[in-house]
Amino acid sequence: MILVEQSSINKIPFLQLVKEESLDKPLPLCFFIHGFTSAKEHNLHYAYYLAEKGFRVILPDSMEHGERDSGKSEQQLGEIFWEIVLQTIHELSILKGHFDQKGLLSESKIGVAGTSMGGIVTLGALTQYDWISSAVSLMGNPSYVKFAKAQIAQVKALGYKIPYTEEETMRIFRELEKYDLSLQPEKLKGRPLMFWHGKRDKVVPFQLTHEFYHSILPYYEDLEDNLLFVEDEKADHKVSREGVIKLVEWFEKHLSA
């Protein structure tokens, strides 16, 4: 039987899914991060499949999402998109520390994954945490600075005013550089990494992610099994059932005890 428990730590609400008989045992741990304007409950199907395979799965709500929603409009959330991304990366460390302190982690068995914004968080987290053993980005983007510049260009093209001065914008770019995996691919250190992306995605550009994948191939020489890019010819900004299954198979292969 799969348990679904609602909890929080340091005001970060999360769901935990785990087999009942394994609740108090050290297990491989998977964090799954939701997308922009989504919430933890919207990814229960991923968590259920992973819990069935013997993982402890943690679904947190990001700042201003789910239980932490303060009523901001989508436009207002868009204005603090990168603040949400970076805060979620920082909170992963808090959540990991919580389960570590309780003695519930299997050493070197921690995975991070997410959809869209959650995939972006996942790829940024790889620049910060050596304890991530394996990662899966579903419709994510590692090129923080390029993507942020593209977002600003799109907002301007639509006739909206950017809510930052030029100086503030440059400061944001400098901060994003610290988390931009495309600028520091050596931090991957050969860790297992899977991408899934629809070629028709108009929200998070397929091309930027695909280019990054090709750029890191030399870092995975003799480690080909640790790198995978699954492209879906027909998909837009929605993960197919095949993508869900591929994620589960990836963590089963690289994280199982």
Assign residue 45 the CATH number of its domain.
3.40.50.1820
Whether the CA torsion 131, 134, 138, 144 is positive or negative: it is: positive
Question: Is 60 exceeded by the pLDDT of residue 58?
Answer: yes
Is residue 108 over pLDDT 90?
no
Total count of domains within the chain = 1
Of 65 and 169, the structure prediction assigns the larger pLDDT to: 65
Axis crossing angle, helix 241-255 with helix 44-52, rounded to the nearest 10:
40
Per-residue pLDDT, 209: 95
Averaged confidence pLDDT in the chain: 95
What percent of the chain is modeled with pLDDT above 90? 89
- pTM, rounded to two decimals: 0.95
Element (H, E) at 231: strand 227-232
Q: Is the model more confident about 168 or about 179?
A: 179
For residue 159, the model assigns a pLDDT of: 76
pLDDT score for 106: 87
pLDDT at position 257? 56
Domain assignment of residue 140, given as a range: 2-255
Residue 50 has pLDDT above 90, yes or no: yes
Q: What is the mean pLDDT of residues 7-23?
A: 96
Residue 211: pLDDT over 90: yes
Per-residue pLDDT at 163 exceeds 90: no
**Which 3 state secondary structure label does DSSP give 99?**
helix
Mean pLDDT of 53-82: 95
